[in-house]
Chain A
Amino acid sequence: MSSRTLYDKVWNFHQVKELPGGSTQLFIGLHLIHEVTSPQAFSALNEKKLGVKFPNLTVATVDHIVPTSNQQRPFSDPLAEEMLATLEKNCKTHKIKFHGIGSDSQGVVHVMAPELGLTQPGMTVACGDSHTSTHGAFGAIAFGIGTSQVRDVLASQSLAMNKLKVRRIWVEGELQKGVYAKDLILHIIRHLGVKGGVGFAYEFAGPAIEKLSMEGRMTICNMAIEGGARCGYINPDETTFEYIKGKEHAPKGKEWDKAISWWKSLASDSKATFDDEIQLDGSSIEPTVTWGITPGQGISIKETIPNPDLLPKNEQQIAKDACKYMNLKPDEPIEGQSIDVCFIGSCTNGRLSDLQEASKIVKGNTVAAGIRAFVVPGSQKVAKEAKEKGLDKIFLKAGFEWREPGCSMCLAMNPDKLEGRQISASSSNRNFKGRQGSANGRTLLMSPAMVAAAAINGKVTDVRKFLQK
């Protein structure tokens, strides 16, 4: 009986050849590009007088630099406009499909590609963006690459890669009410560390994972990279097939049945051997919030800011730096910490179900005085569906701003930025120093529902209090 993981099987299908250095030339089945990491790759291609080998296997959108308040062209920021115009030109020259501004399929690259059915089980997916791990939720090997590698994929549809080890993270039980995929992945990163996954692909499995929707699974895989794992994946199952069915690029008719049987064959074998295995109980996880400057510095809503001196030695220095930067005192509770800005969006948590869960908290309430709160749908499709369900009105009525799709304040390469020492409750993925656009701005990562609760109360709040009402 075979004892291979999904990672082994998908890897084997895509092996082109062994390279002299010992790495593998790996075929890339789906290449996604955006405006930030592709222009220099196209320039390099031109310098080398090379073309794009399989233009049909690259798909482009624009997300990082787009303003979310007014998307009229030309953008008011000339640099942003230049980046978009460059991508438009490159796509046109090389006959690459571009889901640009004005298209109903534009959006954050890791939100729009799954929506179109582009992401499917068994693929290799690469993109010049570390959160490409998101697509592993479908049972694909998906990983972020640098610009030189974007050039290589454009030129050869392949990359020189070293095979990773596989660590299975088995999650028993079921997430409790008020606890979401975001809490689970923050909990995992807290316990395995921000570099625990270096050299590994993470296979997320077990009852708690199987019960997650595709959107929840994408949240989990999205943040594998925050735990150091370049690639995270979940075995495809009925939930996966149900999500893909009927999407624009999904297999149709007879092909659909063939596709399902192939996809099913890719799941890790029941006797698969893993390089490492970890088990945890999903039922005992509580809403989780980061307090520090790495995504690994998370605690449950019921805990207090850790005392750096009591942490393991290798965590002490960064914990001290974090306390100082965040202006948080050891042993203080995280619940009740006041905030200035609330951001719901990003490739981690900008999907319809994220907005739905947050809207349940917001409905009938009002954003606390002095808080700036805004919702940025992950894509045009998310925005449209949310509006059809009246979510925009719920948020607007409560005092949230309702914006146009883009990466927004996750990384602040656009007008959405923290100012000065402002502190945000954010549904995004990184709480690094300066990440949200102010060199000394501060970020608390949490689930979209927790961000909504924080907006209403003006401080970090246990979302379960709203759900009991």
Chain B
Amino acid sequence: MNQKFPKGEIKSIQGRSFTIKGDDIDTDRIIPARFLKCVSFSALGEQVFADDRKELKGNHPFDLDHNKGANILIVNDNFGCGSSREHAPQALMRWGIRLIIGESFAEIFFGNCLALGIPCLTASKEEIVKLQNLVEKDNNQIWEFNLKNLSISNQKETVKLILDEGPYKMLYSGKWDATSQLLDEEEKINKTFKNLPYLNNFKQEI
């Protein structure tokens, strides 16, 4: 893959876009279970949507020549439902996807994407359909996502997007990789541990 993986602050993303249409696209479809037999994520990029692609014999959006190098994916409702496998966002990321916009996302998938620095933003059904139509009109247009304005634009048209404050702040500050934050206050972790009845012989005075 040509692009580097996300790092630090994610305030804007530029690139070409394409669509995957349909509601309730589950993570078994994004990455079928047989590809989970691995101890590293490195090979997953080529296996994204493997079964759907096989069925469409080269005509799947992830196979079409004019989508090669695109990095923005536009989807519909409840994208990423089902299994918690991080292999799904890993596969999308390793194929080259850096931003996903849709009507809604399954919760675990959304969190997994955020943990990799891949923003998932939403818009109303009408706005998504409008955006999908715009994107499909011309595969070569460059779209510009702006986190601060919560919008994506192709110079002529702009679509407003929605993102909760928490993920917004994490992406804006570059603190979407939670590990270091979580380790910041070891004392408080230890204090919580010591106050949990079931980890302290059910002491009453707690």
Chain A residues in contact with chain B, CB under 8 A? 13-17, 19-23, 25, 27, 29, 36-37, 39-40, 43, 48, 50, 53-54, 57, 64-65, 77, 79-80, 82-83, 86, 120, 122-123, 128-130, 132, 143-149, 151-152, 155-160, 162, 194-195, 198-199, 225, 228, 230, 251, 255, 258-259, 262, 294, 314, 317-318, 321, 411-413, 430, 432-435, 437, 439-440
Contact between B78 and A194, CB atoms less than 8 A apart: yes
Closest to B195 in A: A13
Write the nearest CB–CB distance from A53 to chain B, whole angstroms. Answer: 7
Say which residue of A79, A123, A145, A432 sits within 8 Å of B84 (CB atoms). Answer: A145
Known: A25-B182, A86-B39, A430-B82. 18 other contacts (CB 8 A): A15-B192, A37-B85, A40-B86, A43-B40, A54-B193, A79-B38, A122-B197, A145-B84, A147-B86, A155-B182, A159-B182, A230-B108, A258-B201, A262-B198, A294-B26, A317-B23, A432-B26, A434-B29
Known: A194-B24, A259-B198, A413-B37. A158 touches B107 (CB 8 A): no
Contact between A146 and B170, CB atoms less than 8 A apart: no
Please name all residues of chain B whose beta carbon is closer than 8 Å to the beta carbon of A199 when the two chains form the complex: 107
Known: A147-B86, A155-B179. A27 touches B196 (CB 8 A): yes
Known: A48-B179, A259-B202. A40 touches B169 (CB 8 A): no
Closest to B171 in A: A21
Chain B 173-203 against A: per-residue CB contact (8 Å), 1 yes, 0 no? Answer: 1010111011101001100110111110111
In the complex, B126 has a CB within 8 A of chain A:
no
Q: What are 7 A-B pairs at a CB distance below 8 A?
A: A129-B84, A156-B182, A195-B106, A294-B24, A412-B33, A412-B34, A432-B82
Contact between B108 and A145, CB atoms less than 8 A apart: yes
Most buried by A among B28, B33, B87, B90: B33
Contact between A198 and B196, CB atoms less than 8 A apart: no
Please name all residues of chain B whose beta carbon is closer than 8 Å to the beta carbon of A228 when the two chains form the complex: 78, 81, 106-107
Please name all residues of chain A whose beta carbon is closer than 8 Å to the beta carbon of B177 when the two chains form the complex: 148
Say which residue of B183, B199, B203 sits within 8 Å of A156 (CB atoms). Answer: B183
Cα distance, A259 to B26, chains bound together (Å): 40
Chain B 34-78 against A: per-residue CB contact (8 Å), 1 yes, 0 no? Answer: 101111110000000001001100000000000000000000011
Known: A21-B169, A432-B29. A194 touches B108 (CB 8 A): no
Chain B 97-126 against A: per-residue CB contact (8 Å), 1 yes, 0 no? Answer: 000000010111001100110000000000
Chain B residues in contact with chain A, CB under 8 A? 22-24, 26, 28-29, 32-34, 36-41, 51, 54-55, 77-78, 81-87, 89-90, 104, 106-108, 111-112, 115-116, 164-170, 173, 175, 177-179, 181-183, 185, 188-189, 192-193, 195-199, 201-204
Cα distance, A77 to B175, chains bound together (Å): 40
Say which residue of B40, B84, B173, B183 sits within 8 Å of A155 (CB atoms). Answer: B183
Contact between A413 and B34, CB atoms less than 8 A apart: yes
Contact between A123 and B23, CB atoms less than 8 A apart: no
Cα distance, A29 to B193, chains bound together (Å): 8
Contact between B51 and A230, CB atoms less than 8 A apart: no
Cα distance, A152 to B176, chains bound together (Å): 12
Cα distance, A225 to B169, chains bound together (Å): 27
Please provide the 4 A-B residue pairs with the shortest distance between their CB atoms, ordered closest to farther. Answer: A146-B112, A146-B86, A148-B115, A258-B202
Known: A29-B196, A160-B181. A318 touches B22 (CB 8 A): yes
Please name all residues of chain A whose beta carbon is closer than 8 Å to the beta carbon of B189 when the two chains form the complex: 16, 25, 27, 53, 156-158
Contact between A40 and B40, CB atoms less than 8 A apart: yes
Write the nearest CB–CB distance from A81 to chain B, whole angstroms. Answer: 10
Say which residue of B107, B169, B193 sits within 8 Å of A230 (CB atoms). Answer: B107
Closest to A128 in B: B84
Please name all residues of chain A whose beta carbon is closer than 8 Å to the beta carbon of B54 when the two chains form the complex: 439
Known: A29-B199, A434-B29, A435-B28. A21 touches B170 (CB 8 A): yes
Please name all residues of chain B whose beta carbon is closer than 8 Å to the beta carbon of A162 when the two chains form the complex: 164, 166
Cα distance, A151 to B196, chains bound together (Å): 22
Please name all residues of chain B whose beta carbon is closer than 8 Å to the beta carbon of A65 when the two chains form the complex: 37
Cα distance, A43 to B182, chains bound together (Å): 18
Say which residue of A159, A251, A314, A432 sits within 8 Å of B202 (CB atoms). Answer: A251
Known: A83-B37, A251-B202. A198 touches B111 (CB 8 A): no
